[in-house]
A and B are shown apart, each in its own frame.
Chain A
Amino acid sequence: MLLRLRNLFAGLWLTFMVALGACAQSSVVIVSSDDGAAYAEAAQALVQELERGGVSRFSIRRINASEWRDARPQAPRLYVTLGAEAADLLARFVPGAPVLCALLPRNSFEAILLRTGRKVSSQLSALFLDQPAQRQFQLIRLAFPSARRVGVLWGPDQAKDGGEWRTQAQAAGFQLVDAEVGTEDLLFPALKQVLDGTDLLLAVPSPQVYNSRTIQNILLTSFRANVPMMAFSPAYVRAGALLAVYVTPSQVGVQAAHLARAVLEGKTLPASGVYSNDFHISVNEHVAHSLDLSLDEQDLSRRLRQREARP
């Protein structure tokens, strides 16, 4: 008797859940490359910000890339991908809803477009994880008022971006001293060339140049040459870079939510990728002290925001 009653309840529950699933088509599906903490933090900030904007938590679905491969959910009104792998998956699939690719650097997004033959549009747009060159050079100007020469090491295929960086550097009053690292063997000759007479080494992410194997020698060599490094993540600041400007996953989540809400309100995604509005600056106070530099994270952030707010 009890067993039959339990079966009945189970059947009713299943029917209810199926019905609920059919009715509640998701507004936003968040596809993460990974379940790691950074993705979780970005997703959480995204959900909270959407909720704050009146979007129901039940209409937001979070899955990871492997779940997507196993079973694609019914098309929502917007996909938000977190990470390059998820962006790559959705760019190949061409779902019936716009896709906002977040938490990935601009080069990753451009590589995806190249591989999939797609074009950036309001159907496939991006919120970049890296910082615009202009912001980085403005920060260098604020932190090192007398700096003249900024060194950059390019990974394979990155030197093509050199023209744009050079233009931005010149606009901020710097001379760019750059070198391409074709293979890892050539890293230190290139570094030596770039450090010669430069005031600062600006690290532009490339796994062939900056990785856990090379960073010890790069940071030690530049420190010996008395050339501080401006990096792209807080991990590098902890390792010994003087400072970094970056966007945190929470900040990514919040801005992605603003772009998503606009879509839900009937607008479209930006027709080309955008950089984060918000950013964070970290300074390694010990390295700064050792170099006799007085840099304050809050002060630099405030002044950089003021500068960006100027028309």
Chain B
Amino acid sequence: MNRWMVWCALLAGSASVWADGTVGVSERDFLTDVPLVLSVSRLPQRLDDTPGAVTVLDREFIRLSGARDVADLLRLVPGFQTSMSFESIAPQASYHGGFSSYSNRIQVLVDGRSAYSAYFIGSVEPGLQSVAIDDIERIEVLRGSNSAAYGARAFLGVINIVTRDPVDTLGTQLGLSTGSNAIGDARASVGWIADKANFRLALDRRSDAGLAGSNGTNRIDRLNFRGGLRPASGDDFELRLGTMTLNAGKGDPNQVDNLARDTRYGSSYLQFDWRRSLDQDHDLALSFSHGDETYRDAFPYSLQALGINDSIAIDASGASRSDALTLQHTWRKGLQWRMVWGAELRREQVVSRPIYNTDDALVTNFARLFGNLEWRPGKELVLNAGAMAEHSSTSGASLAPRLMLNWHVADGQTLRVGASRAYRPPSTYEQFADVRYSWNGHLLEVATLASGNVQPESVFSREVGYLGVLPQLGLNLDVRAFHERIDQFITQMNSTRPKDYANTENFSIHGLEYQLKWQPWNGTRIMFNQTYLNFSLIDHGIENGLAVDYGNALPAPKLASTLTWFQKLPGNLDLSIMHQDSGTMTPQRTGHDHQAAMTRTDLRLAAPLRLGAQRAELALVVQNLGLPYMDADPAYAFQRRIFVTIKLDQ
């Protein structure tokens, strides 16, 4: 083989041109070298070698689900709680509990770029909306703490969104959805190839009237560009640019402290990636990303109650920017050893006069070193040992290690056991919030004043898992039993005035979740998930019942189930039925005083069409066939939505 490589190298670049100038097959096609493509970093870990439970939502699943955004898809993943409300910022998803208005204990990556919001306390909501659902190739949901590989935000899990390669979306694609609740989604995308480069430009809108009882229209407009250059040298360059504007109606005309209003969130990003295969066993990847956020949200607060015939502005407007530079080296030796290690520098800055009472930018610098070593001593065992050392300029250093052993007990049967520790440093808001209201130069109230006396919270996670694949029966079963102990939980102190953030409870989240996939025959795909969750308070800390209190609040249901059934019908029709049944929980925005269970059944029926040379699909989707259920707030409900979608793919 090595000798082959030598001649291949000698012959590289030669073309099979005949004496008469025509090009035909010749021996050179057999002998010429070609660049290394599926290099070490391009070959993903197999699911049964992965240090943790993973749910993969592929493009087919995404299409058949009829979901209009990622958050709506994640409700079909074990352990997730979702909301379709735009009240905090956008539809959100949390894993093993939504503890506050924002979901900031999981990481969201879009093509490797951290897309959590620096402005909104590290929340994943805007990141989940940054690309249109039709631009997504697959979503890998890593259930369980994963900070060793993905940093502090991967405290409880990771949502890894992989967008479609432009090569797979050449030509023009058009999509249109319209229906009840003022649903009006539209998308146009064009992809093309020019020599060694490939491009896609996609423009789309997602629009509806929001939850029943909520205020006004929610509209997301996005423009995303992705370009790749793959020269014959084997290098790989990728450039991604995108911008999103989210207009959402919030508030209530009858609440003076949360008046009905229109808000506008804008974000844009740039991401540049360069990958080089040093040889068959070494890859180097360099990535730079930049993100901007702007938020405009203000309304007048009437001072009539104070006997003053005037108002003050309640404002949450501001901006953030983040820059990240990552260098990563992937190495392997045979099938036995594989290692990924690297370093990341990240800078986040937030500016908001109304929230931080300063015009200065609040800057946090992160320096990270990470590594994961995969060792396969034999065919049966895989040991993943990883760690991330992180230094934050505002909250010091931490080390997040992880150890996981995968034992391939028999063909298609894998047992996993492992433990990890992770830290989430307090966000800029949790450390520096200073929200005050003044009128005519008189300070009326300091509503929130973060003392900064808050340490990183930590999670120690232990899990036992099983992954079984029985191809003869078309069965795939993934089970995860977990015990996640959270210490020094950071939360807002409600009893103090002004409000402050502090480390409060220590508690554990323990339970079991499983995902059963069954493909009994061609044309039928069934997925059944169940999650049993329990929260146990270990130590109250300084104040009772902030995050976990059985009397009032329950951040996630004790039992939640989803059933997804995709059925191919005669005439190539696709029928999808999705049913979700979640036990009582406290919706993320309601505080401690409300609990609700919910059930939701969705239906989708789609027919493939041919319009001349174009392939098309017409679909009818009914979301929530049954009664409206409470979402986010007792005043809001997710009512039945019926819409029709047509998609054209050239």
Q: Which among B32-40, B505-513, B630-638 touches the partner chain?
A: B32-40
Which residues of chain A in 272-299 are interfacial with respect to chain B, using CB atoms and an 8 Å cutoff? 282, 284-287, 289-290, 292
Give chain A nearest CB distance to B56 CB in angstroms.
12
In the assembled complex, the Cα of A239 lies from the Cα of B25 at a distance in Å of 20
The contact string, 1 if C-beta is below 8 Å from chain B, for chain A 20-61, is 000000000000010011100100000000000000000000
B44 within 8 A of A: yes
Provide 25 A-B residue pairs closer than 8 Å at the C-beta atoms, listed in order of the A residue: A36-B31, A37-B7, A37-B11, A38-B7, A84-B27, A85-B26, A104-B27, A105-B25, A107-B24, A188-B193, A207-B16, A207-B23, A207-B28, A212-B13, A212-B232, A213-B195, A215-B34, A216-B230, A216-B234, A219-B38, A221-B167, A233-B29, A233-B31, A235-B8, A249-B7
| With contact pairs A213-B196, A219-B38, A240-B38 given, residues A292 and B46 touching in the complex (Cβ less than 8 Å) | yes
B3 within 8 A of A: yes
A217 touches B198 (CB 8 A): yes
In the assembled complex, the Cα of A115 lies from the Cα of B30 at a distance in Å of 22
A94 within 8 A of B: no
Q: Which of B11, B24, B35 has the most CB of A within 10 A?
A: B24
| With contact pairs A212-B232, A221-B165 given, residues A239 and B35 touching in the complex (Cβ less than 8 Å) | yes
Which residues in B have their C-beta under 8 angstroms from that of A212?
A: 12-13, 32-35, 232
A107 touches B25 (CB 8 A): yes
User: What is the chain A residue whose CB lies nearest that of B376?
Assistant: A289
Give chain A nearest CB distance to B339 CB in angstroms.
14
B323 within 8 A of A: no
A213 touches B232 (CB 8 A): yes
In the assembled complex, the Cα of A172 lies from the Cα of B271 at a distance in Å of 48
A205 touches B7 (CB 8 A): no
Give chain B nearest CB distance to A45 CB in angstroms.
12
B interface, by DSSP: helix, strand, loop or mixed? Answer: loop
In the assembled complex, the Cα of A111 lies from the Cα of B16 at a distance in Å of 13
Give chain B nearest CB distance to A103 CB in angstroms.
5
B26 touches A83 (CB 8 A): yes
Which residues in A have their C-beta under 8 angstroms from that of B38?
A: 219-220, 223, 239-240, 284, 286-287, 290
5 tightest A-B CB contacts, nearest first: A240-B38, A37-B7, A212-B232, A205-B29, A216-B230
Pick the contact of B19: A88, A108, A221, A232 (CB < 8 A): A88
| With contact pairs A38-B11, A290-B44 given, residues A246 and B335 touching in the complex (Cβ less than 8 Å) | no
Give chain A nearest CB distance to B378 CB in angstroms.
14
A interface, by DSSP: helix, strand, loop or mixed? Answer: helix
Q: Which of A33, A130, A207, A287 has the most CB of B within 10 A?
A: A207
A188 touches B170 (CB 8 A): yes
Which residues in B have their C-beta under 8 angstroms from that of A122?
A: none
Give chain B nearest CB distance to A206 CB in angstroms.
6
Pick the contact of A216: B27, B35, B334 (CB < 8 A): B35
A185 touches B25 (CB 8 A): no
B30 touches A105 (CB 8 A): yes
Pick the contact of B27: A111, A129, A240 (CB < 8 A): A129
Which residues in A have their C-beta under 8 angstroms from that of B15?
A: 207
A84 touches B16 (CB 8 A): yes
The contact string, 1 if C-beta is below 8 Å from chain A, for chain B 33-55, is 11111111011101010000000
Give chain A nearest CB distance to B345 CB in angstroms.
29
The contact string, 1 if C-beta is below 8 Å from chain B, for chain A 258-281, is 000000000000000000000000
B6 touches A286 (CB 8 A): no
In the assembled complex, the Cα of A299 lies from the Cα of B510 at a distance in Å of 48
In the assembled complex, the Cα of A37 lies from the Cα of B198 at a distance in Å of 35
Which residues of chain A in 223-251 are interfacial with respect to chain B, using CB atoms and an 8 Å cutoff? 223-224, 232-236, 238-240, 246, 248-249
| With contact pairs A213-B196, A239-B35, A290-B46 given, residues A220 and B165 touching in the complex (Cβ less than 8 Å) | yes
Give chain A nearest CB distance to B473 CB in angstroms.
15
B1 within 8 A of A: yes
Which residues in A have their C-beta under 8 angstroms from that of B36?
A: 238-240
B593 within 8 A of A: no
B35 touches A224 (CB 8 A): no
User: What is the chain A residue whose CB lies nearest that of B195?
Assistant: A213
User: What is the total number of residues of chain A having a CB less than 8 Å from a CB of chain B?
Assistant: 58
In the assembled complex, the Cα of A227 lies from the Cα of B132 at a distance in Å of 26
Give chain B nearest CB distance to A6 CB in angstroms.
41
Which residues of chain B in 183-232 are interfacial with respect to chain A, using CB atoms and an 8 Å cutoff? 193, 195-196, 198, 230, 232
Which residues in B have their C-beta under 8 angstroms from that of A236?
A: 34
A208 touches B1 (CB 8 A): no
In the assembled complex, the Cα of A37 lies from the Cα of B1 at a distance in Å of 14
A189 within 8 A of B: yes
User: What is the chain B residue whose CB lies nearest that of A82?
Assistant: B27
The contact string, 1 if C-beta is below 8 Å from chain A, for chain B 314-337, is 000000000000000000101100
Which residues of chain B in 49-92 are interfacial with respect to chain A, using CB atoms and an 8 Å cutoff? none
In the assembled complex, the Cα of A88 lies from the Cα of B31 at a distance in Å of 19
B297 within 8 A of A: no
User: What is the chain A residue whose CB lies nearest that of B235?
Assistant: A216
Give chain B nearest CB distance to A310 CB in angstroms.
27
A192 within 8 A of B: yes
In the assembled complex, the Cα of A290 lies from the Cα of B198 at a distance in Å of 26
A224 touches B40 (CB 8 A): no
A108 touches B24 (CB 8 A): yes
Which residues in B have their C-beta under 8 angstroms from that of A165?
A: none
A36 touches B7 (CB 8 A): yes
Q: Which of B12, B29, B36, B48 has the most CB of A within 10 A?
A: B29
Which residues in A have their C-beta under 8 angstroms from that of B196?
A: 213
Pick the contact of A105: B29, B40, B44 (CB < 8 A): B29
Give chain A nearest CB distance to B384 CB in angstroms.
15
In the assembled complex, the Cα of A292 lies from the Cα of B48 at a distance in Å of 10
A98 within 8 A of B: no
User: What is the chain B residue whose CB lies nearest that of A234?
Assistant: B4
Which residues in B have their C-beta under 8 angstroms from that of A233?
A: 4, 8, 29-31
In the assembled complex, the Cα of A213 lies from the Cα of B231 at a distance in Å of 7
A210 within 8 A of B: yes
In the assembled complex, the Cα of A210 lies from the Cα of B196 at a distance in Å of 13
B230 touches A246 (CB 8 A): no
B280 within 8 A of A: yes
User: What is the chain B residue whose CB lies nearest that of A223?
Assistant: B38
Which residues in A have their C-beta under 8 angstroms from that of B193?
A: 185, 188, 217
The contact string, 1 if C-beta is below 8 Å from chain B, for chain A 112-134, is 00010000000000000110000
